[in-house]
Amino acid sequence: MTDTAAREMPLEPENELQDDVAVVDDHGSDIAGHDDHEGHHSSLGLSNMKLAMWLFLGSECLLFGALISTYLLSKARFLTELVALNPRVLDGLRDGGMPEELIQEFIAEGSVEPIFDIPFTSGSSFILLMSSLTMVFAHKAVSEGNYRNSRVWLAATALLGSTFMAGQVYEFTIFFREGLTYGGSLFGSGFFTLTGFHGAHVTGGIIMLLSLLVLSFRGKLQSNRAETVELVGLYWHFVDIVWVLIFTIVYLIP
Amino acid sequence: MTTYDDQLALPSGLSDGPRQPLGIFARPRNANGFVDWLTTVDHKKIGIMYGAASLFFLIIGGVAALLIRIQLATPNNTFLSGDAYNRIFTMHGTVMVFLVVMPMGAAFANFLMPLQVGARDVAFPRINAFSFWVFFAGGLMLNTSWFIGGGAPNGGWFNYAPNNGVAFSPAAGIDFWNIGLLITGIGSLTGSINLITTVLNMRAPGMTLMKMPIFVWMTLVTQFLLLFAIPVLTVAQVLLAADRLFGANFFNVELGADPLLWQHLFWIFGHPEVYLMILPAFGIVSEVIPTFARKPIFGYPFMVFSGVAIGFMGWGVWAHHMFVSGIGPLSVTAFSVATMFIAVPTGVKILNWLATMWGGKLILNTAMLFSIGLVTQFTIGGLSGVSHAIAPSDTQQTDTYYIVAHFHYVLFGGALFGFVAGFYFWWPKAFGYRLGERLGKWNFWTMVLGFNLTFGPMHILGLQGMPRRMQTYDPAMGFGLWNMVASWGSFILALGILMLLVNVVQSHLAWRRAGRPNVGADPWDGRTIEWSIQSPAPSHNFDVDPAVTSLDDFWHRKYQPDETGKLRRIHTGDEIAQPGDPTGVHLPAPSYWPIVLAMSMPIVGYALIFNLWLMIPGVLLMTLSLWGWALEPADDLDPHDDDGAGQGDSASPDGGDGATAEPELETVS
Ligand SMILES: [Cu+2]
């Protein structure tokens, strides 16, 4: 028995049985169909990498869901205690160096609104949203094989993301100067953990974008690798959408 | 035939060219012996390592259990101090849940699932190796707390707030629990993504979802549960780490925090967790019972959809762990009803197994006995579980030994018995010989006797009011008799588990003495396609992708109805089994980076606990291994591509031609 025959044997149990057993005929047609697609297949018609990325993002939804819930709970409990003038909570804020006027504003409004600079954060949110647009252009350029444009758009996306991050660092610094520390209050812990986790995700995305850029300059980012850009894009859009949620929940909803 | 070449390739673009970017990042080839195990990306070897690691941790958790039983055997016993007792029951629970039952499920999922779907490996072999090593690294790190950092954790496996805070638990034990499990969680997450992708995307041609073996279905549900449950636990652990290590206040009651947040997060993870521990065992017995009842599984779609239903409903019942925590009557009622409903799909499974056995020609070998053991003992545990769903009853039972009895009946009498059934059933496929049946039956009956003697009396103790986690008790409480029985039972149970290990050694030696006879591809007259390849399974699994046309495909290739409609065997399994010829098969090369990357994680963990300077080597190693991972060829270059370049690895003494991949293909052990 030749090598090839031996390897195909399990699929066609016995030649003389083929006429009797319909199932075996099906096997035969499967072999033909199978050889057509070069020996590998994907059952869903979706690449493994892309499926894995979707699964990862699904898992990330739960991560951010739990973090956002934690933030909402922490803020609510913080405000309840603050409005009730719990001395430990007040001391926590004062120990962080928060000016008395700001504390009184928190209490008067029953909200953490006074510390936020909504126009500033709206601006940085807009920048992050724009980066999703440039990401789409980057993917389009790579799939069309327009390498010069793809580099421009990848760099633009990374730059916009970095601008957003710079804004977050600036905002954290301002908050810290105004006495909102990580350990001083339940609200501080919740706010910095949630936004910090998101910031870490953006930073990860920027590193991916820069890696793509390096690959592109080394000529390794041809149009047959467009899916890599698409995957980074998926992640990037996801991080943006999460920010829209966070921005709405943390900054806009009183 | 470059089977999964493209799918295996990370899209870094670097696997296209023949050039090796950096010699140091060459992927090892011809690895053998010890290095082979450290660098392997073969799902079967990784599955075997998961199994071996879980047995190793089973010994640790088992010794802890025996210490607990010695302490509780007699009233007012002083064998263990209260402090030691707290640490030992905490580690017993933590090790058994996270380092024994979960990885044992992963062992079967890794070894078996790709074989059952007809794939050559999982979707991402290196990430698979990483998942194992990061689990193992986290598990080892957790267990170093026995020796360093002021002692093992003592907050219970659930580690409730605010007891887990620095104020009440200043020693580093809780940090070991927290960081160690955070690290194993990374492995669970990457593993779940990998295995789901494999099930969904790499099935053999013709294997539609409703033609997948039940075990594959249960693996799919389990991994989805992990995918969504692990991040919730991760958040809880991140919050706790922030509190303990960086002065945050998430569980600081003084500043108004609600410590119930921990319970909610923990049990949103924790209830899906109990299902993801039991479902792999359900999958295993759903393969074993039809094989030895000589009948197809009864009600296949019901088996599938009840598993999927458990997967969904498992998310809506977590607060039944919190009936006495003051969550309010409305929540209690809602979760009580939801919990009663989730018993329905579980009951469906039990009925289906019984109906499968009904009227079958039962072959009562060891694998079948353990499966029947699962069905029986899980039913007892399931019924006591329903009694917890009734909130007023649960209020009486909470924190008593009744609860301990319940979850040991489902997790030990259920899950672990199922896993042992799986060991006996698939051992020939993994190692090429069967485990001894004589000792196997002794193993089964000793375990059944020991198990029921240990945990049966705990129902009574619980109803008598004996609290959990109590270091000792007064003779006047009347707990003495049944505690003594349970302690004797635990040693009988330990003897039973020892018999399994002895059976492994003995059967292996006997097989070697007999000159390693071939057990054949299909020793049990199996139903699913993993029996259509040689035993032990060759490295490349399938010579050619199997074409699947029906459920229990392999069975239908062996048995066909004749003119009168009676099923007749037209082939033996060995006749139609694939010969195990690796010609033309291309497998991914082993890699050092998964284990190196995994080992960098505990270093970062120790840095967080002890000294942030340790961050430097930890992060350096992590960065290096990530670079190494990204820069090494995603797959070794196909030796049959005729690109003439091989690995570009001039250091390789064998010249780097295609033949070097071959010896690896023959080494399966
Ligand atoms: Cu539960």
Band of pLDDT at residue B31, cut at 50, 70 and 90: low
* Complex prediction ipTM: 0.89
- Residue B644 lies in domain: 1-41+539-591+637-669
Band of pLDDT at residue B515, cut at 50, 70 and 90: very high
State whether A59 and B200 contact (CB < 8 Å).
no
Over the stretch A130-141, which tens digit does the pLDDT of each residue have? Answer: 999 999 999 999
User: Does residue B552 share a domain with residue B528?
Assistant: no
- What is the rounded CA–CA span in Å between residue A110 and residue A187? 13
- Nearest Cα neighbor of B520 from B507, B529, B533 is B533
Q: What is the DSSP string of B220-268?
A: HHHHHHHHHHHHHHHHHHHHHHHHHHH---TT-GGGT--THHHHHHHHH
Give the residue with greater pLDDT, B617 vs B22: B617
Give the nearest partner residue to A17 out of B231, B234, B570, using CB atoms: B570
Min Cα–Cα distance to chain B from A166, Å: 23
User: Does residue B625 share a domain with residue B587?
Assistant: no
State whether B2 and A14 contact (CB < 8 Å).
no
User: Does residue B223 share a domain with residue B257?
Assistant: yes
Residue in the structure block whose two tokens are 């009347």? B478
Taking a contact as any Cβ pair under 8 Å apart, which residues of chain B between 262 and 301 contact chain A?
265, 268
User: Does residue B435 share a domain with residue B407?
Assistant: yes
Query: What is the model's pLDDT at position B663?
Result: 31
Taking a contact as any Cβ pair under 8 Å apart, which residues of chain B between 21 and 80 contact chain A?
none
User: Does residue B270 share a domain with residue B180?
Assistant: yes
CATH number at residue B360: 1.20.210.10
Query: What is the model's pLDDT at position B93?
Result: 97
Residues of chain A with pLDDT below 50 are: 1-39
Tell me the residue type at B538: P
User: Does residue B231 share a domain with residue B176?
Assistant: yes
Pairing of strands B559-561, B567-569: antiparallel
Q: What is the mean pLDDT of chain B?
A: 89
Chain A residues in contact with B7 (beta carbon < 8 A)? 40, 42, 47-48
Compute the distance from residue B260 Cα to the ligand 1 centre, in Å: 16
Is the predicted pLDDT of residue B34 greater than 90, yes or no? no
Query: What is the model's pLDDT at position B491?
Result: 97
Residues B145-161 have a mean pLDDT of 92
**Hey, how many other C-beta atoms are within 10 angstroms of the C-beta on A127?**
17
Give the nearest partner residue to A10 out of B6, B12, B576, using CB atoms: B576
User: Does residue B560 share a domain with residue B512?
Assistant: no
Band of pLDDT at residue B656, cut at 50, 70 and 90: very low
Chain A residues in contact with B228 (beta carbon < 8 A)? 58-59, 62
Over the stretch A34-89, which tens digit does the pLDDT of each residue have? Answer: 333 333 567 888 899 999 999 999 999 999 999 999 999 999 999 999 999 999 99
A200 touches chain B (CB under 8 A): no
Chain A residues in contact with B532 (beta carbon < 8 A)? 10
Give the residue with greater pLDDT, B83 vs B651: B83
Spatial neighbors of B515 by CB under 8 A, at least 6 apart, are none
Query: What is the model's pLDDT at position B29?
Result: 62
User: Does residue B572 share a domain with residue B528?
Assistant: no
Give me the residue spans of the domains in chain A: 47-252
Over the stretch B539-580, which tens digit does the pLDDT of each residue have? Answer: 999 998 899 999 999 999 999 888 888 888 888 888 888 988
Give the residue with greater pLDDT, B4 vs B221: B221
State whether A48 and B532 contact (CB < 8 Å).
no
The CATH number of A47-252, from 1.10.3720.10, 2.40.110.10, 1.20.120.80, 2.40.10.120, is: 1.20.120.80
Over the stretch B90-104, which tens digit does the pLDDT of each residue have? Answer: 999 999 999 999 999
State whether B3 and A39 contact (CB < 8 Å).
yes
What kind and span of H or E run contains B561? strand B559-561
Chain A residues in contact with B580 (beta carbon < 8 A)? none
Is the predicted pLDDT of residue B640 greater than 50, yes or no? no
Is the predicted pLDDT of residue B5 greater than 50, yes or no? no
Min Cα–Cα distance to chain A from B85, Å: 33
A76-84 contacts at long range (C-beta below 8 A, 24 or more positions apart):
A77/A186, A77/B256, A77/B257, A77/B258, A78/A112, A78/A185, A78/A186, A78/A187, A78/A190, A78/B255, A78/B256, A79/A106, A79/A110, A79/A111, A79/A112, A79/A187, A80/B256, A81/A186, A81/B255, A81/B256, A82/A106, A82/A107, A83/A107, A83/A110
User: Does residue B367 share a domain with residue B218?
Assistant: yes
Compute the distance from residue B320 Cα to the ligand 1 centre, in Å: 6
Query: What is the model's pLDDT at position A22?
Result: 29
Is the predicted pLDDT of residue B4 greater than 60, yes or no? no
Min Cα–Cα distance to chain A from B548, Å: 8
- What is the rounded CA–CA span in Å between residue B297 and residue B276? 22
- Give the percent of chain B with pLDDT over 90: 79
B576 touches chain A (CB under 8 A): yes
Taking a contact as any Cβ pair under 8 Å apart, which residues of chain A between 41 and 60 contact chain B?
41-44, 46-49, 51-52, 55-56, 58-60
Q: How many domains does chain B have?
A: 3
Taking a contact as any Cβ pair under 8 Å apart, which residues of chain A between 71 and 110 contact chain B?
73-74, 77-78, 80-81, 86, 88-89, 92
Taking a contact as any Cβ pair under 8 Å apart, which residues of chain B between 503 and 532 contact chain A?
532
CA B526 to chain centroid:
23
Chain A residues in contact with B583 (beta carbon < 8 A)? 3, 7
Residues B498-511 have a mean pLDDT of 96
User: Does residue B437 share a domain with residue B288?
Assistant: yes
Query: What is the model's pLDDT at position B36?
Result: 87
Over the stretch B178-191, which tens digit does the pLDDT of each residue have? Answer: 999 999 999 999 99
Length of chain B: 669
Residues B370-390 have a mean pLDDT of 94
- Residue B544's region, left for phi above 0, alpha for psi from -120 to 50, else beta, is beta
- What is the rounded CA–CA span in Å between residue B187 and residue B432? 29
Question: Which two tokens mark B517?
Answer: 């006879």
Chain A residues in contact with B201 (beta carbon < 8 A)? 42-44, 46, 48, 51
User: Does residue B560 share a domain with residue B423?
Assistant: no
Question: Which two tokens mark A12?
Answer: 């066609």
User: Does residue B424 share a domain with residue B360?
Assistant: yes
Give the nearest partner residue to A59 out of B201, B231, B255, using CB atoms: B231
Chain A residues in contact with B2 (beta carbon < 8 A)? 39-40
Query: What is the model's pLDDT at position B634?
Result: 67
State whether A14 and B571 contact (CB < 8 Å).
yes
Question: Which two tokens mark A225?
Answer: 């690798």
Over the stretch B382-407, which tens digit does the pLDDT of each residue have? Answer: 999 999 999 999 999 999 999 999 99
Give the residue with greater pLDDT, B204 vs A35: B204
